[in-house]
Structure 1
Amino acid sequence: MPALVIAAHGSHLNPGSHDPAFAHADTIRGAGAFDEVREAFWKEEPSFREVLRTVESEEVYVVPLFVSEGYFTEQVIPRELRLEGWDVADWDSDGTDADHVTLTADDVGKTVHYCGPVGTHESMTDVIVQRAETVTGDPDVGEGFGIAVVGHGTDRNENSAKAIEYHAERVRETGRFDEVQALFMDEEPEVDDVTEYFEAEDVVVVPLFVADGYHTQEDIPEDMGLTDDYREGYDVPAAVDDTRIWYAGAVGTEALLADVLLERAADAGADVGNALDLVRQRTRGTAAAGD
């Protein structure tokens, strides 16, 4: 049976950065879709460079636990895995629709199905909505609510903003929420001014980040005015300019993200059996990963 590798960034500074990768890997292991499920990291061990040597299977599905198509998914991971013949053009993507490419890891001779990142998969929209349900405690949340999908934004990678706008538009198309807005930390429209973009009295803010860290735990809460000092904490919901802000924290911590990882592998040809159904049953309405 093929193996699954979940490729995440990790961090030397934030010990909780790896929590989503380990939590989602455990969920997928429990569903029995793969004999082997491995986590690999850029900033932690096991590393991208060494992970294929820890896998017995000759066929491996690699799914990047990243938000957007860019430097890490297009350059770092393929390079570190030594994927022979890799060319980002093979994804034939406009920045939000990378699928998969089958290549050989030349140093270990394994067949690798290299998938697009979870952050641009269409099912990530469901995870964003699930995150809103989790933070409000309301499985029917939507009417009377606005929702903001928040990303970093950067001039260095236009795809960073594309992923945020893509999912904001998909949420908008469902018609579930009264208002939907894509907001950013480092470009317009900025999350600092979140209340200016909504008329609704209740707004759910969902950061499209994989893990809770400096940006999601410190920058965004302070920028939105939830607190003057993140170390003092804040209420959920918190009142800002007569608007109740329901701050959800990083979308990657939502348990349902394990479903997206499995879907990426299934899209690339993995026979996951009934694992998708099992994962959905276990993660719908459950606590966020790492909680």
Structure 2
Amino acid sequence: MGEGTTQALVLAGHGSHLNPRSDRPVFDHADAVRERSAFDEVRTAFWKEEPSLSEVLRTVESDAAYVVPLFVSEGYFTEQVLPRELRLTDDRHLDVGFPVRYAPPVGTHDAMTDVVVRRVERVTGDPDVGDGVGVAVVGHGTERNENSARATQRHVRRIRERDRFEEVQALFMDEPPYVDDLYDEFDSESLVVVPLFVADGYHTTEDIPEDLGLVAEGEGGDADYDVPATVDGREVWYAGAVGTEPLVADVAVERAADLGAEVDDERLEG
């Protein structure tokens, strides 16, 4: 982009008519980017709620827009639904006269590996956590689309390469190895479970706590549990959705910069 060109960042989320918390990380990360003045405009848009993906680019006043999906993996939504709703073709919106660059999802960026590790540090309260600790990264997964599990498996491989934790493995909701296999898959006495999800919704507040034995069946979402909890003699730290980690805002900005957005690093400090 040329000197003096104004730039907009659009953070695109799934949204939900049923879960009021599903949009919270998108709004929080948008606010974080605004505070740093990294872009002239920061917009939010959703598939399932307002502001809608189909209308958001009409509200942009800048000379160029960078759309970053706040999703954890490539697949049906990022490859078909979002481009269709945004009416994108050849890096341009069908009804506006400025360039629109569409990024891969934040969850596939290399920097998300650091976000997962930061999540482990945050939930344990230990910046040096590692020795004797097993880390389970939980993805949704589906046997219908191999891309759903690919991001989770890739971050697991990258964390293993750091040789920091005793064990690091991927677990899934909808394909093996499953979340409730945690205690069979790991030998470590201390376990940290990090869901690779954008928001704390039904899966992260109900399904996974139940599968881990943190709460009784049917009590997820309403029941409190200890962090760490003790299950079958194991110490279990449950971190909640990785997408709520503040560092995700930085990853979104990096996604836009990878596509050519001019972002002054000094404006991102703090």
TM over 0.5: yes
Counterpart in 2 of 1:249?
Answer: 240
Counterpart in 2 of 1:4?
Answer: 9
> Aligned ranges for residues 230-241 of structure 1 at < 5 Å?
230=220, 231-241=222-232
TM-score, normalised to structure 1, is: 0.88
Q: Is the 8 A contact 1:118 1:260 kept in 2?
A: yes
> Aligned ranges for residues 112-127 of structure 1 at < 5 Å?
112-127=100-115
Distance 1:26-1:221 versus aligned 2 partners, 3 A rule: same
Distance 1:165-1:54 versus aligned 2 partners, 3 A rule: same
**Inter-partner Cα distance in structure 2 for 1:112 and 1:271:** 14
Decide which of 43, 47, 50 is 2:48's aligned counterpart. Answer: 43
**Inter-partner Cα distance in structure 2 for 1:29 and 1:157:** 35
Tell me the SS of whatever aligns to 1:206.
strand
Counterpart in 1 of 2:171?
Answer: 183
**Inter-partner Cα distance in structure 1 for 2:266 and 2:122:** 23
**Inter-partner Cα distance in structure 2 for 1:275 and 1:127:** 21
1:148 paired with 2:142, answer no
Tell me the SS of whatever aligns to 1:180.
strand
Per-residue deviation, 1:110: 2.2
What letter corresponds to residue 2 of structure 1 in structure 2?
Answer: Q
Tell me the SS of whatever aligns to 2:165.
coil
* Gap regions ≥5 residues in structure 2: 1-5
Decide which of 228, 234, 254 is 1:263's aligned counterpart. Answer: 254
Distance 1:259-1:108 versus aligned 2 partners, 3 A rule: same
Per-residue deviation, 1:109: 2.2
Q: Is the 8 A contact 1:32 1:275 kept in 2?
A: no
Per-residue deviation, 1:195: 1.4
What letter corresponds to residue 76 of structure 1 in structure 2?
Answer: V
What letter corresponds to residue 246 of structure 1 in structure 2?
Answer: W
> Aligned ranges for residues 72-221 of structure 1 at < 5 Å?
72-85=77-90, 103-221=91-209
Tell me the SS of whatever aligns to 1:183.
strand
Q: Is the 8 A contact 1:65 1:119 kept in 2?
A: yes
Distance 1:276-1:32 versus aligned 2 partners, 3 A rule: closer
What letter corresponds to residue 77 of structure 1 in structure 2?
Answer: L
How many residues are treated as equivalent by the alignment? Answer: 262
Counterpart in 2 of 1:92?
Answer: none
**Inter-partner Cα distance in structure 2 for 1:210 and 1:194:** 21
What letter corresponds to residue 219 of structure 1 in structure 2?
Answer: D
TM-score, normalised to structure 2, is: 0.95
Q: Is the 8 A contact 2:21 2:200 kept in 1?
A: yes
**Inter-partner Cα distance in structure 2 for 1:275 and 1:261:** 16
Decide which of 16, 20, 44 is 2:21's aligned counterpart. Answer: 16
Counterpart in 2 of 1:64?
Answer: 69
Tell me the SS of whatever aligns to 2:99.
strand
Cα-Cα RMSD: 1.1
**Inter-partner Cα distance in structure 1 for 2:189 and 2:144:** 35
Q: Deviations over 1:25-47 (max 9, x none)?
A: 01101111101000000011111
Distance 1:275-1:215 versus aligned 2 partners, 3 A rule: farther
Per-residue deviation, 1:201: 1.1
Per-residue deviation, 1:275: 5.2
Q: Is the 8 A contact 1:10 1:43 kept in 2?
A: yes
Identity rate, percent: 66
Q: Is the 8 A contact 1:211 1:252 kept in 2?
A: yes
**Inter-partner Cα distance in structure 1 for 2:121 and 2:22:** 23
Tell me the SS of whatever aligns to 2:134.
strand
Tell me the SS of whatever aligns to 1:110.
coil
Q: Deviations over 1:119-163 (max 9, x none)?
A: 100000000000001101111111111100001111222101111
